[in-house]
Structure 1
Amino acid sequence: MIFSPFMDHRYAWDLVFIIDLIFSGIIFIPFFISLFLEKKSRWVCRGSMIGLSLYILLCWFQNGRAMKLTEVFAHSLNEEVIQVASLPQPLSPFRWAIFIETNDKIYQGFVDFLREERPESVSASSSFFEKLNRLYDPPEKINYRLWTKLQDSPWVEKALATEGVEFYYWFARFPVVKSVNFEDGRHRVEFIDLRFSMPEVRMPFRYYVEFDHSGRIYSEGFVEDRKKQRE
């Protein structure tokens, strides 16, 4: 939040992935080269800045292409659209995640502008990179996943009223209820932020709340933290 503490609104250009190896490489590789070419270090650094500017322009152009696809799909829906977004993805400036949020649903799609045909399906034993590669569709054949934002359950309503979930919803951009279940005498509600979710690949930043029969909080927190505690 660049204007904090004056306002809480978060502004984002959505141009570069949070860990962009190309972006970082354009900065650090010329930097290390300049250490050995001191006489030409200024020109090396200037070249780095030019390359970085061109890369940002490329990302900006690809983001515009992704937003056009997002808006076309949003207009095809017979629903009130709250917000749309196209978010950068790892390893390539040509891959984007597409989101369309309506009153009670979120549509999620993944596109690769260099792809013409869908890749072959993968299995549970496939590697991380094989699953990641399978996630992205060609621009004309995007498979949108439908997520229901909230489930009709009193335990969801109870979880939404907790301080932890309220903070999670403040942090999240596209939050949904992932699951509601009952196990070992406890009611468990789990939330995810779709902007970090890659179906069948990874699903980080999952937040859960568990209640006992009386409705008191038994435990809550991030799923990843709980797994570490068990280990």
Structure 2
Amino acid sequence: MDPLTHALSGALLARAAARLPAQLHPERATLPLRMQIAAGFAAAAFPDIDFALRLIDTLTYLNWHQGPTHSLILLPLWAWLLAWLFSWLSRGRYGWKLFILPACLGIAIHIAGDLITSYGLMLFAPFSTQRFSLPLVFVIDPWFSLIIIAGLIASWRYPQPRNPAIIALVSLCGYVIFLWTLHQQAIGIATHYVDSQAIPQAQISVLPQPLSPFHWKIIIRHDETYHLALVNLRQSDNPQQNQTTWLLPKMAAAYRPVAENNWQSYPQFGDNPAAVTLARAAWLDPAFAPFRAFAIFPVLERMDTSEQGLCVWFYDLRFQFPELPPSFRYGVCRQDDHSDWRMFRQQGLFYID
């Protein structure tokens, strides 16, 4: 999920959980409301500090993003460090214990927000690097963000009661439940396709897509072949193709009604029998281990010859979107049959690529 939505969600949760002003309970010290909200905002932005790994290299960042800073095991440690920092920034006017609750809530809602995207979190780091995900929300979802923003605006307009913030959080949960029903519909479509094609031991994955909550990518893996469909769960008819030249409408048009049976096959190592052995050998080479650790749905993009020699390029189907080049493309190259493979990154459309 994008960093701003994370931070705003922390502010909203802190507002919903804010304690009553100290004047109503003079025997109990309480942070001012604005400081509770600010602490929740900052704490919810904190886990994405792992973006600093990008300074090492992109693949290190990709392999460790949403790692230890997104761990439930380490949440108390991060919350304590942030609470201490907030107390220090207040020049000691407020003890660190007063910041613990908004710090915990901010980190917790960040973890929850990323858990419902498709990247995957190391929830039990440092004891396990296994990733967990319930892919319901695309990383940028305007509706998700607008619900949070509306709740914060209403809370600012009516600052005394917590009801607007609580209502916004309940609405957010309702929206996530709605997305779960769409997720189940997409799984049903995939299951029907597997049954109709008699695909044995199929592995089904459905991923939320940009521009609409009704857009889904269905990936079915069978051995070394992927069956992929881009579906629009809202469309039931067969509208005429939009001839616009604008990028976003062209992207949206790629997600087709279920009735169109819009399935494509992607062999993991390409459809050229003469090159499959070479592509598989390049993929399994030790030099490519960092990318293998990252890629969940790897597929061959191409083979070419450059100044690095013969190169074999792969990308992950998770990061392929209509009308755009795939993100995070990596390959291995060698000068001749007797040289060792070396890994290279291909610059993509976006900075993070």
Q: What TM-score range do you get, normalising by the shorter chain?
A: 0.7 to 0.9
Q: Does 1:197 align with 2:308?
A: no
1:178 aligns with 2:298: no
Q: Distance between the aligned counterparts of 1:201 and 1:224, measured in 2? A: 10
Cα displacement (A) at 1:203: 1.6
Could you tell me whether the CA contact under 8 Å between 1:176 and 1:193 is conserved in 2? yes
CA-based RMSD of the aligned residues comes to 2.4
In structure 1, runs of 5+ residues without a counterpart are: none
Q: For residues 152 and 347 of structure 2, what CA distance do their matches in structure 1 show?
A: 39
SS at match of 1:126: coil
> Counterparts of 1:90 and 1:14 in 2: how far apart (Å)?
13
**Hey, which bits of structure 1, 4+ residues long, moved more than 6 A?**
none
Q: Determine if the alignment matches structure 1 residue 46 to structure 2 residue 170.
A: no
The code of the aligned residue for 2:129 comes to D
- Give the helix-richer structure, 1 or 2: 2
Structure 1 residues 185 and 197, CA gap change in structure 2 (3 angstroms): closer
1:75 aligns with 2:195: yes
Counterparts of 2:339 and 2:197, CA distance in 1: 38
Looking at structure 1, the residues matched to 164 and 242 of structure 2 have their Cα atoms a distance apart, in angstroms, of 43
Deviation readout 1:62-98 (Å, 9 max, x if unpaired)? 1000100011111223433341011111232211110
Using the TM superposition, name which of 43-52 and 5-14 deviates more. Answer: 5-14
Alignment partner, residue 7 of structure 1: 128
Between structures 1 and 2, the one with greater strand share = 1
Q: Shift of the alpha carbon at 1:210? A: 2.3
Do the aligned residues in 2 keep the contact of 1:155 with 1:187 (CA within 8 Å)? no
Q: Pairwise mapping of residues 210-229 of structure 1 onto structure 2 (< 5 A)?
A: 210-213=333-336, 214-217=338-341, 220-224=344-348
Judged with a 3 Å threshold, the aligned counterparts in structure 2 of structure 1 residues 159 and 113 are, in CA distance, closer, same or farther, namely closer
Provide the C-alpha distance between the structure 1 equivalents of 2:251 and 2:201, rounded to a whole number of angstroms: 28
Say which SS state the counterpart of residue 214 (structure 2) adopts: strand
Aligned match for 1:98, one of 218, 229, 232: 218
More displaced stretch, 57-66 vs 133-142? 133-142
Describe the superposition over 1:2-52 as per-residue Cα deviations: whole angstroms up to 9, x where unpaired: 122333332211111112121122112311331232134x11101101110
Q: Distance in 1 between matches of 2:238 and 2:324?
A: 17
- Residue 149 (structure 1) aligned to one of 246, 268, 271: 268
Write the distance in 2 (CA, Å) between the matches of 1:74 and 1:9. 27
CA contact 2:279–2:300 (8 Å) conserved in 1: no
* Cross-structure match for 1:66: 186
| SS, match of residue 92 in structure 1 | coil
Partner Cα separation in structure 2 for residue 61 and residue 68 of structure 1: 11
Secondary structure of 1:224's partner?
Answer: coil
Q: Which runs of 5+ in 2 are unaligned?
A: 1-121, 271-275
**1:30-41 paired onto structure 2 within 5 Å:** 30-40=151-161
Kept in 1, the 8 Å contact 2:154–2:165? The answer is no
175-184 vs 141-150, which deviates more? 175-184
| Residue aligning to 1:168 | 291
Letter in 2 for 1:91: L
Counterpart AA for 2:177: L
Q: 8 Å contact 1:27–1:52 — kept in the other structure?
A: yes
- How far is the alpha carbon of 1:53 from its aligned partner? 1.1
Match of 1:127 among 237, 240, 246: 246
Give the percent of matched residue pairs that are identical in Structure 1 and Structure 2.
25
Larger Rg: 2
2:168 maps to amino acid: S
Separation in 2 of the partners of 1:211 and 1:75?
Answer: 42
Task: Tell me the residue number matched to 1:87.
Answer: 207
Q: How many residues align?
A: 224
Are residues 98 and 32 of structure 1, via their aligned partners in 2, closer, same or farther at CA, if it must alter by over 3 Å? same
Cα distance per residue 1:179-218 (max 9 Å; x no partner)? 1223457211111111121243342121122221243446
